[in-house]
Structure 1
Amino acid sequence: MDPISTELLTALAGGVGGEAARQAWAWLRTLVGRPAAADSAIVSGEAELDALEQAPADVDRAQALSTTLAQRAAVDPDFRTGLERWYQQIEVSKTGDGDVHIEISGNPKFYGPVLQGRDFSGVSFGSPPASPSLPPEG
């Protein structure tokens, strides 16, 4: 497994990406907090994780965490599996797998709000949709 980039770690530690970043950081914290393999004398990474959380823009701290994660993954197969799974989830959200392709054709008429994107939840609008106007009688 390639080392986790310092850019990704600083972005997640700083909360760039909103709720998704917070969830990814929490997942990494849980993973790092798991006990290391019994025969492993390698550090867990918790101190490096805490240090980066205190100074999210510190590239040196991000590099220290990246190095520690790589070292632990090299000697702890369970940790490596968890880290790979975590990284795959991050890559899916970062690369946009599952992007939405929206194509509107013909002569559509919209009478209310239109949202384009993906993964919306809890969306509501404070007013009823507008009714189409009727042509004047005559």
Structure 2
Amino acid sequence: GQALSGETCYANEECAPGTCCGIPSDEPFVSRREVPDLPPTPPEPLPPTLPPPSGTCKPLKKENATCNEMFDKWRGDCPCETGLTCFSFEVADGSTEITNPWVQTRPGYSRRNQCWTQDRIDTYQSPPDIVFAAKPFAG
């Protein structure tokens, strides 16, 4: 494709190399726990003139860019460039608060997602457990 970053698109093939057609989802983002168990309803027929969803050509994510495969697709953001993988890893930051209840982390760590090469993923080693010093008893 020839469409440049920022131009309207309907499919990835329309966008220039190094970009994708980011089409945001029109579905609300809910977890399965929030979806009530309802009896199935027959689908309503769609009008025949419904236009296809459009998006915007956006750049693919480069190495070390922040990524989140699920949310990026939902928001209409591009994935990592070819040869890169969205990798989730722990960072030792001494954090004791739960900043994101959806993400399991060990005490003293937070989790990040970045576009990494396969070689970097293969050599990644999770940091060791942080040992918290006990506070002296003030009695």
TM-score bracket, normalised by the shorter chain, equals: under 0.3
Please give the TM-score of this superposition, normalised by the length of structure 1: 0.22
Structure holding more helix per residue: 1
Please give the TM-score of this superposition, normalised by the length of structure 2: 0.22
Q: Which has the larger radius of gyration?
A: 1
